[in-house]
Amino acid sequence: MPGGYGDSGQGNLASRTGTDRTPDPPSASPARHCSVDGQPSLLVEWRRRTSTWEGRVISVVPIDSVGWATVERWLPEAGIAGPRG
Protein backbone atom coordinates (compact mmCIF):
# COMPACT_ATOMS: atom_id res chain seq x y z
CA MET A 1 0.00 0.00 0.00
CA PRO A 2 1.76 3.21 -1.09
CA GLY A 3 2.32 5.57 1.81
CA GLY A 4 1.10 3.02 4.34
CA TYR A 5 2.70 0.62 6.76
CA GLY A 6 3.17 -2.21 4.27
CA ASP A 7 6.42 -3.80 3.16
CA SER A 8 8.22 -1.57 0.66
CA GLY A 9 10.38 -4.45 -0.51
CA GLN A 10 13.43 -2.72 0.97
CA GLY A 11 13.48 -4.47 4.33
CA ASN A 12 12.36 -3.25 7.71
CA LEU A 13 13.23 0.13 9.20
CA ALA A 14 15.98 -1.31 11.41
CA SER A 15 17.81 -2.89 8.47
CA ARG A 16 17.46 0.25 6.31
CA THR A 17 18.84 2.53 9.05
CA GLY A 18 21.69 0.23 10.06
CA THR A 19 20.33 -0.49 13.54
CA ASP A 20 19.44 -4.11 12.80
CA ARG A 21 21.31 -6.25 15.36
CA THR A 22 20.73 -9.58 13.61
CA PRO A 23 24.12 -11.28 13.25
CA ASP A 24 25.37 -12.08 9.77
CA PRO A 25 25.23 -15.70 8.66
CA PRO A 26 28.41 -17.72 9.19
CA SER A 27 29.35 -17.28 5.52
CA ALA A 28 28.70 -14.30 3.27
CA SER A 29 28.75 -16.56 0.21
CA PRO A 30 27.41 -20.08 0.78
CA ALA A 31 28.10 -22.76 -1.88
CA ARG A 32 31.20 -24.04 -0.13
CA HIS A 33 32.76 -27.46 0.06
CA CYS A 34 32.34 -28.98 3.49
CA SER A 35 32.26 -32.33 5.25
CA VAL A 36 29.31 -33.96 7.02
CA ASP A 37 29.90 -37.19 8.92
CA GLY A 38 33.15 -37.59 6.99
CA GLN A 39 31.40 -37.35 3.58
CA PRO A 40 32.41 -34.59 1.16
CA SER A 41 29.41 -32.29 0.73
CA LEU A 42 28.36 -28.91 -0.60
CA LEU A 43 26.91 -26.20 1.64
CA VAL A 44 24.43 -24.23 -0.50
CA GLU A 45 22.39 -22.07 1.89
CA TRP A 46 22.14 -20.76 5.44
CA ARG A 47 18.97 -20.08 7.44
CA ARG A 48 18.55 -18.46 10.82
CA ARG A 49 16.89 -20.43 13.58
CA THR A 50 15.98 -19.05 17.01
CA SER A 51 19.53 -18.63 18.32
CA THR A 52 21.65 -20.57 15.84
CA TRP A 53 22.22 -21.10 12.12
CA GLU A 54 21.44 -24.14 9.99
CA GLY A 55 23.04 -25.00 6.67
CA ARG A 56 21.39 -26.72 3.72
CA VAL A 57 23.87 -29.37 2.65
CA ILE A 58 23.91 -31.63 -0.40
CA SER A 59 25.87 -34.87 -0.15
CA VAL A 60 26.41 -37.83 -2.46
CA VAL A 61 26.31 -41.03 -0.43
CA PRO A 62 26.84 -44.67 -1.37
CA ILE A 63 23.75 -46.90 -1.35
CA ASP A 64 24.50 -50.61 -0.95
CA SER A 65 24.33 -52.34 -4.33
CA VAL A 66 22.36 -49.56 -6.03
CA GLY A 67 25.25 -47.12 -6.35
CA TRP A 68 25.02 -43.51 -5.24
CA ALA A 69 22.25 -41.16 -4.09
CA THR A 70 22.03 -37.42 -3.56
CA VAL A 71 20.89 -36.39 -0.09
CA GLU A 72 19.81 -32.86 0.79
CA ARG A 73 19.31 -31.87 4.43
CA TRP A 74 19.30 -28.99 6.89
CA LEU A 75 21.92 -29.40 9.61
CA PRO A 76 22.94 -27.29 12.61
CA GLU A 77 26.06 -25.20 12.02
CA ALA A 78 28.00 -27.37 14.49
CA GLY A 79 27.43 -30.47 12.31
CA ILE A 80 29.08 -28.92 9.24
CA ALA A 81 32.86 -29.09 9.03
CA GLY A 82 35.13 -27.29 6.62
CA PRO A 83 35.73 -23.86 5.14
CA ARG A 84 33.11 -21.31 6.05
CA GLY A 85 34.28 -18.06 4.95
Mean pLDDT (whole number) for 20-30: 59
Q: Read off the pTM.
A: 0.57
Mean pLDDT (whole number) for 33-57: 89
Contacts of 75 (CB under 8 A, 6+ apart): 36, 54, 55, 57
Handedness of CA 50, 53, 56, 62 (dihedral sign): negative
Higher pLDDT, 54 or 15: 54
The CATH architecture assigned to 24-79 reads Roll (2.30)
Q: Which H or E run contains 13?
A: helix 13-17
DSSP, collapsed to helix, strand or coil, labels residue 65 as coil
Sequential DSSP letters for 16-45: HHT---PPPPS-SS--EEEEETTEEEEEEE
* Domain residue limits, the chain: 24-79
Judge contact between 77 and 65, C-beta under 8 A: no
Higher pLDDT, 66 or 55: 55
Judge contact between 53 and 26, C-beta under 8 A: yes
